[in-house]
């Protein structure tokens, strides 16, 4: 407002409507209409004076019944000072900042793509250059499970032996489903594991080329030791993510899973 002379903001009103006593005895449809009508009536009563003030001032606004608030668009300092004197206005807050996610540009079929921008932002190339490529560590995921016989994953499954498979301590089923081996009844978990770990026989980005062995969970697993090598050590200002080892493995360098 100091720069442009106007600003947009939210006026937050007291939200005191009691919805609990009758709502518990209603069916789904009746309860929904009761909640809507009760909150809308509260909005119309508590916001009436402010709405009239903004209309007379020629300021654009929009009222919300769900949380009893008004979005005021581009008001000047005089209007901002005026609305602060109305009864029921509990706080004035700035609109949330909106970040635009731009669509990626399509690549030609024969075009070799460079490292993706998100990996550059977290300085993943610096980690690779320092020798952190994930080799020798075990990766698990929290998803729908992983099919250990998947043609792109089978060779890296830690439970694979010279004569077959040993699934002991190489997967976990939190639901006690009496499964005898890892499985994925949905397919999503296997898909994401492939994207993490497998170097595919096509021209893709470096983000999907991680030569590491895998320990496969059966379904959605409890928090496990997950090592994503394409990152740098966590700065001291960030909390460390919780880790629970599924099996005994060498402790990897701590990595941030966020920018």
pLDDT at 138: 83
Q: Please report the DSSP string for 83-105 in residue order.
A: HTTSTTEEEEEPPPPP---PPPP
pTM: 0.43
Residue 59 pLDDT more than 90?
A: yes
**Per-residue pLDDT at 108:** 67
CA 131, 158, 186, 226 torsion-angle sign: negative
pLDDT tens digits for 146-179?
999 998 888 888 899 999 999 998 888 877 778 8
Q: 3-state class of 73 per DSSP?
A: strand
Name the average pLDDT for the chain.
75
- CA pair distance 231, 15, nearest whole angstrom: 45
- Give the alpha-carbon dihedral of 65, 67, 73, 79, to 10 degrees: 100
Give per-residue pLDDT as tens, 165-174.
999 988 888 7
The whole-angstrom separation of Cα 167 and Cα 124 is 33
Q: Which of 215, 244, 212, 249 is nearest to 228 (CA)?
A: 212
Asked if residue 231 lies in contact with residue 252, where contact means CB atoms within 8 angstroms, the answer is no
Q: Give me the mean pLDDT over the 105-113 stretch.
A: 64
Evaluate if residue 238 carries a pLDDT over 70.
no
Contacts of 240 (CB under 8 A, 6+ apart): 234, 254
122 confidence band (pLDDT: 50, 70, 90):
confident
What is the enclosing helix (H) or strand (E) of 84?
Answer: none
In this predicted model, what pLDDT tens digit does every residue of 34-49 receive, in sequence order?
A: 999 999 999 999 999 9
Q: What is the pLDDT of residue 70?
A: 97
**Per-residue confidence band for 120, with pLDDT thresholds at 50, 70 and 90:** confident
Q: Where along the chain do its domains lie?
A: 7-93, 107-259
pLDDT above 80 for 215: no
Residue 204 has pLDDT above 50, yes or no: no
Is residue 207 over pLDDT 80? no
Give the residue from 188, 185, 180, 194 showing the smallest Cα distance to 150.
Answer: 194
SS3 89: strand
């Amino acid at each position: 407002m100091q720069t442009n002379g106007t600003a947009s903001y939210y006026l937050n009103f007291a939200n005191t409507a009691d919805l609990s006593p009758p709502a518990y005895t209603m069916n789904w449809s009746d309860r929904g209409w009761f909640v809507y009508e009760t909150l809308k009536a509260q909005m119309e009563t508590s916001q009436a004076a402010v709405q009239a003030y903004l209309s007379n001032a020629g300021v654009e606004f929009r009222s919300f019944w769900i949380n009893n608030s008004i979005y005021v668009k581009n008001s000047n300092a005089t209007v901002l000072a005026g609305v602060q004197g109305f009864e029921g206005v509990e706080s004035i807050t700035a609109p949330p900042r909106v970040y635009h996610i731009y669509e990626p540009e399509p690549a030609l079929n024969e075009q070799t793509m460079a490292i993706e921008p998100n990996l550059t932002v977290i300085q993943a190339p610096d980690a690779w250059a320092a020798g952190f490529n994930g080799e020798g560590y075990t990766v698990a995921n929290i998803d729908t499970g992983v099919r250990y016989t998947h043609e792109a994953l089978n060779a890296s499954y830690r439970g694979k032996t010279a004569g077959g498979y040993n699934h002991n301590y190489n997967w976990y089923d939190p639901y006690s489903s009496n499964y005898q081996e890892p499985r994925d009844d949905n397919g999503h978990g296997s898909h994401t594991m492939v994207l993490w770990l497998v170097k595919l026989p096509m021209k893709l980005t470096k983000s999907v080329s991680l030569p590491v062995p895998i320990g496969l969970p059966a379904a959605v697993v409890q928090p496990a030791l997950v090592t994503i090598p394409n990152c740098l050590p966590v700065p001291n200002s960030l909390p460390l993510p919780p880790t629970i080892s599924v099996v005994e493995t060498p402790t990897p360098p701590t990595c941030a899973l966020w920018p």
